[in-house]
A and B are shown apart, each in its own frame.
Chain A
């Protein structure tokens, strides 16, 4: 049985109509980001060219052009005939992929994306400290990574901690925004976790964040989250300088 992936909000956002004149590169970029972040899964069949064009509100020829671009990036393979179509081929070497994406980004764009992420997550932390109950705090403590040498698992827990903090705002729209930000930028922001020393520092900052929420101290929670995101961004910008 082919398991169809769920039509979550993050996925709906990918297929929402593009605002102005749909351009192939914008379609290509949006789908590429979704594939790199894992919102579109490895092996998943993409909608057909006409379907894709209809969903995104662009001409079929534009959708086709975008798919050509995705094939050139190695993110999609297309097979012909019965049962054929375009399938997601998510890179096996996610690290190399992320490095490439970081290198393709200007420092201005990195800072721009980092600013949105930092402001939204800091606001989440502040509200979480106002609205968390005791069970919520226990849940957050459970998400703190203690001994973990697998960087992938570390990144996953870190991302889940942030999503959980966002959920404590009690706002579904805010959580969906954080889901979108995580898909868009979370992978890049957690690149520095490859470094063991950075991971140790990161653990300390996460503990401080959770303790501020446990103390129901919104100002400290906000400041902790800012410090955490700023430290990641600073390190990411150093990495960026080394690849560009």
Chain B
């Protein structure tokens, strides 16, 4: 069955892409466990521990930003902190403020932080417009960082929807398929009538194949 083969190819490309990011995040996570189990960690130590690794990751991957986001109280000097590098110049984010008041934005309520905090497992959030870090339309991969059994934050990486479209659209077109997230929201679709970000009624689809270990599925129309 040619269609099945093409569908499997779509699923595999998605799995490979996010698994590779997961592997990179695992490496960054491991670098933070030592410092956190060794004693108090401030923003500077957290940043220094991962910066070379994160920069190398950004160099070899299409992600637009990556780093460590502290759980409240995990760092000795900041309640909320992002050791996060992003953009062409890979600048450090540090804190994120609300535009109207200049007060720090509490990121802990966002799914990319909350879900791994609840499950203790890696997660992929999105598509969503991120107004904390990038002001872009992204998918965010996050992995919890545990030290002494407590979550001290997450390590994560943002992928632009545009990058995913470039990566996936040719294969999705071959299969006439749509990649959706766990809420049936379109990530990338071969069908021009299903715009990215729209909600898709999966009951109208002939077949839906889940991606392993990811809240994503490929649907055939």
Which A residues are closer than 8 A to B by beta carbons?
1, 3-10, 37-39, 41, 90, 131, 133-135, 139, 142-143, 152, 155-156, 159-160, 163, 166-167, 169-172, 175-176, 179-180, 182-183, 186-187, 190
Contacts and interface: CB of A to CB of B under 8 A. Distances in A.
Contact of A6 (B96, B111, B137): B96
Nearest to B88: A7
Contacts of B131: 163, 166-167, 175, 179
Contacts of A133: 183-185, 199
Interface of B: 44, 86-87, 89, 91-103, 105, 109-111, 127-131, 133, 135-137, 183-185, 196-199
B200 to A, nearest CB: 11
11 contacts: A3-B94, A3-B95, A4-B92, A6-B91, A10-B99, A133-B184, A152-B101, A159-B100, A167-B128, A170-B127, A172-B136
Q: How would you classify the secondary structure of chain B's contact residues: helix, strand, loop or mixed?
A: loop
- Which of A4, A8, A131, A167 is packed against the most chain B CB atoms within 10 Å? A8
A135 B183 contact: yes
- Which of B86, B94, B100 is packed against the most chain A CB atoms within 10 Å? B100
A41 B95 CA distance: 11
Contacts of B109: 139, 142-143
Given A3-B95, A4-B92, A155 B100 contact: yes
B114 to A, nearest CB: 9
Contacts of B135: 8-10, 172, 175-176, 179
A26 B16 CA distance: 51
A171 B98 contact: no
A221 B103 CA distance: 27
